[in-house]
């Protein structure tokens, strides 16, 4: 076909499309059929593709986006081996929300010869990400960075994908590089990188980033973050030196920096130095309520309760509505065992500022420490009403109800009794489980809630559910020896998964090798495994430090029975029966051994 006819035909289609403001699909279809393409020579096909591309550019300039895309399709149809045409078509298809088609075209383009560009790999990364092919998207962003190391879009894309798969190290590195590109105005990026490194237990990486940025940009906000991280990492002198520098750079915030310095001194155990700094702050600004509250808190921490009381009274004489001063005055009263006064002061703080969760917690814990569990339950019930979606309030209420359940046991010194034999305790346990259920729904990573609920479910006879909760609790906090031992003991006691039980109890003993409860658990596990002589060694070690726990003695008697040392076993059982003839385990021994 002569070239002038190709040009005339495409121009006519374009003009017709512009006149009607609609793409002329029938005309285009007639020119993009396989039969038409097959009738052309290679030179004619390239000419057709070239002219279609020119028409597309012209239509694009006139705002005819849809028709322009159709002409790009025509160009790519006649020259399917042109990498540039295919990439242009893929980009336009994506713009028209035809991403699956765009991805197919782009895959073909990336396999074709031609120079690579960061832009085409950015397009690939976006399309793969939309298709849920995250690994391919990540590789595409990496290729972008190879071609254009300062691509902000690629760094952000890789960081987002890394966060989604839990690769916090890669995410932190990407955010750090982005922060470098954005210069001094990059605080959110710095915070993301710092947060990830802290979670990974790599504070030195966060410090390195902040030190580098401070040396280059001297942004006070980042300097404060650096100083606080230095202090939290135990580098108190470096932190104080930096706070002093910040105070000189921003004199209007000097008191804030001085307070940070004093608090880090306090946290480092340098109490007299902290006290001196707080007093200097007050000397510089005698009206500073914040410094006076901090001074009182330090005095309280130094066990100078009377001096602390004087400071807080001075604050309240000037401002009786200072909720923080009432809070610390309550702590001061509690320190000197004036419980009724502590209640009044904490209640006053709550009335003035009911949104401070710490005050509510301290108020409830005051009642627990005073062994007033019903009062504590009332406080935490009010806390649940105030913050129904706060996992901590649900946990504290459930924990207190669990304590009330134990308080209402008919035989609190026994290991366990059937739930239906202690109706009041069982009711409290069920109420506690409901609160802990909600706490876990709000925060599935709350290890203490898992442990408490597991313990309650075991007491309610729901063993499978209890074991499931305790397994999660162990996963959440592998170094918690108490949880590992408790789960291991339950498994051994119910004769389930003994290899798992052994691993758990061994872990607990590695963390606390002389704990009599853990030694008893290990002895009971060995008994279940038929290793009676080893069990006796462990149980005797458990009792060697003067322990006379009833359960441990029951276990020792059972081990002695298994070893055939009946006179010793019977002697223990008789002592136990004399102490508590109603204990189910003791009664079972009397029947088993026909004791009188």
Cα atoms in the Cβ-side hemisphere of radius 13 Å centred on 468: 5
Q: In the chain, what are the domain boundaries?
A: 498-596
CA separation for the pair 236, 242 (Å, rounded): 10
Record the pTM: 0.62
416 half-sphere exposure, CB direction, 13 A CA radius: 12
Contact in structure between 102 and 94 (CB atoms under 8 Å): yes
213 CB-near residues (< 8 Å, 6+ apart): 179, 186, 190, 219, 222
What pLDDT does residue 22 have?
47
Quick one: pLDDT at residue 119?
87
Q: Tell me the C-alpha distance between 206 and 277, whole Å.
A: 28
Task: Give the pLDDT of residue 76.
Answer: 75
What pLDDT score was predicted for residue 413? 60
State the 10-residue block means of pLDDT for the chain, 596 residues long: 46 46 48 65 78 76 78 76 81 82 82 84 86 90 92 93 92 94 92 92 93 93 93 91 92 86 84 83 80 80 83 90 93 92 96 94 95 95 95 96 87 60 87 96 94 94 95 93 95 94 94 92 95 94 80 93 92 90 88 85
The answer to whether residues 400 and 376 touch, using CB atoms and an 8 Å cutoff, is: yes
Are 315 and 289 spatial neighbours (Cβ–Cβ below 8 Å)?
A: yes
For residue 287, give Cα distances in angstroms to 248, 277, 293: 21, 16, 11
Burial class (CB in 10 A: 0-12, 13-18, 19+), 542: buried
Q: What is the pLDDT of residue 93?
A: 82
- Which of 352, 351, 295 shows the shortest CA–CA distance to 319? 352
CA pair distance 296, 310, nearest whole angstrom = 8
The DSSP 8-state label assigned to residue 185 in this structure reads S
- Fold classified for 498-596: 1.25.40
- Residues contacting residue 222 through CB under 8 Å, at least 6 positions apart: 187, 190, 210, 213, 214
- pLDDT at site 141: 92
Q: CA dihedral defined by 249, 255, 257, 262, rounded to 10 degrees?
A: 140
The C-alpha atoms of residue 208 and residue 555 are separated, in whole angstroms, by 56
Residue 567: CB atoms within 10 A of its CB come to: 7
CA distance 561 to 532: 10
User: What pLDDT does 418 receive?
Assistant: 61
CA distances from 324 to 89, 332, 345, 347, 349 (A): 65, 12, 10, 12, 7
DSSP summary character for residue 133: -
Write down the pLDDT at residue 103.
84
Using alpha carbons only, give the angle 157, 158, 163 rounded to the nearest 5 degrees. 100
pLDDT of residue 122: 87
What pLDDT score does 436 carry? 97
State the distance between the two ends of the chain, measured CA to CA, in whole angstroms. Answer: 117
3-state per-residue secondary structure call for 189-254: HHHHHHHHHHHCCCHHHHHHHHHHHHHHHCCHHHHHHHHHHHHHCCCHHHHHHHHHHHHHHCHHHH
CA distance 234 to 242: 14
């Amino acid at each position: 076909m002569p070239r002038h006819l190709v040009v005339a035909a495409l121009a006519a289609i374009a003009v017709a499309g512009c006149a009607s403001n609609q793409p002329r699909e029938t005309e285009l279809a007639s020119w993009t059929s396989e039969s038409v393409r097959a009738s052309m020579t290679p030179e004619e096909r390239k000419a057709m593709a070239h002219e279609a591309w020119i028409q597309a550019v012209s239509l694009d300039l006139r705002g005819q986006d849809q028709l322009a895309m159709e002409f790009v399709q025509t160009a790519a149809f006649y020259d399917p081996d042109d990498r540039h045409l295919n990439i242009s078509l893929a980009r336009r298809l994506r713009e028209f929300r035809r991403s699956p088609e765009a991805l197919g075209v782009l895959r073909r383009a990336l396999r074709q010869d031609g120079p690579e560009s960061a832009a085409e790999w950015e397009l690939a990364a976006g399309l793969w990400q939309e298709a849920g092919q995250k690994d391919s998207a990540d590789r595409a962003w990496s290729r972008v960075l190879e071609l254009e190391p300062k691509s902000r879009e690629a760094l952000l894309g890789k960081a987002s994908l890394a966060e989604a798969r839990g690769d916090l190290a890669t995410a932190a590195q990407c955010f750090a590089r982005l922060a470098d590109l954005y210069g001094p105005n990059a605080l959110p990026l710095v915070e993301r990188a710092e947060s990830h490194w802290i979670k990974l237990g790599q504070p030195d990486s966060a410090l390195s980033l902040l030190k580098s940025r401070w040396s280059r940009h001297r942004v006070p906000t980042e300097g404060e973050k650096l100083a606080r991280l230095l202090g939290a990492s135990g580098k108190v002198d470096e932190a104080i030196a930096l706070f002093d520098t910040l105070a000189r750079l921003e004199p209007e915030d000097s008191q804030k920096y001085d307070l940070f310095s004093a608090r880090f001194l306090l946290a480092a155990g340098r109490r007299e130095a902290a006290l001196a700094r707080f007093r200097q702050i007050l000397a510089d600004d005698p009206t500073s309520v914040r410094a006076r509250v901090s001074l009182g808190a330090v005095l309280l921490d130094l066990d100078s309760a009377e001096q602390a009381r004087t400071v807080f009274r001075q604050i309240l004489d000037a401002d009786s509505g200072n909720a923080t001063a009432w809070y610390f005055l309550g702590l001061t009263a509690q320190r000197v065992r004036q419980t009724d006064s502590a209640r009044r002061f904490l209640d006053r703080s709550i009335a003035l500022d009911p949104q401070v969760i710490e005050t509510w917690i301290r108020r409830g814990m005051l009642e627990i420490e005073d062994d007033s569990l019903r009062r504590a339950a009332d406080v935490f019930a009010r806390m649940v009403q105030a913050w129904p979606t706060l996992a901590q309030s649900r946990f504290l209420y459930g924990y207190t109800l669990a304590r009330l359940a134990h308080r209402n046991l008919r035989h609190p010194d026994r290991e366990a009794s059937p739930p239906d034999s202690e109706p009041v305790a069982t009711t409290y346990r069920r109420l506690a489980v409901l609160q802990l259920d909600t706490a876990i729904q709000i925060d599935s990573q709350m290890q203490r809630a898992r442990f408490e609920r597991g313990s309650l479910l075991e007491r309610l006879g729901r063993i499978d559910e209890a074991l499931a909760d305790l397994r999660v609790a162990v996963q959440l906090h592998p170094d918690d020896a108490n949880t590992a031992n408790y789960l291991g003991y339950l498994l051994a006691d119910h004769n389930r998964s003994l290899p798992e039980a052994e691993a758990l109890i061994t872990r607990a003993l590695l963390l606390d090798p002389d704990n009599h409860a853990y030694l008893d658990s290990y002895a009971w596990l060995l008994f279940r495994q038929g290793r009676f002589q080893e069990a006796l060694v462990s149980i005797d070690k458990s009792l060697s430090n003067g322990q006379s726990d009833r359960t441990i003695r029951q276990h020792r008697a059972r081990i002695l029975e298994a070893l055939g040392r009946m006179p010793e076993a019977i002697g223990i059982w008789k002592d136990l029966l004399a102490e508590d003839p109603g204990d189910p385990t003791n009664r079972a021994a009397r029947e088993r051994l026909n004791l009188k």
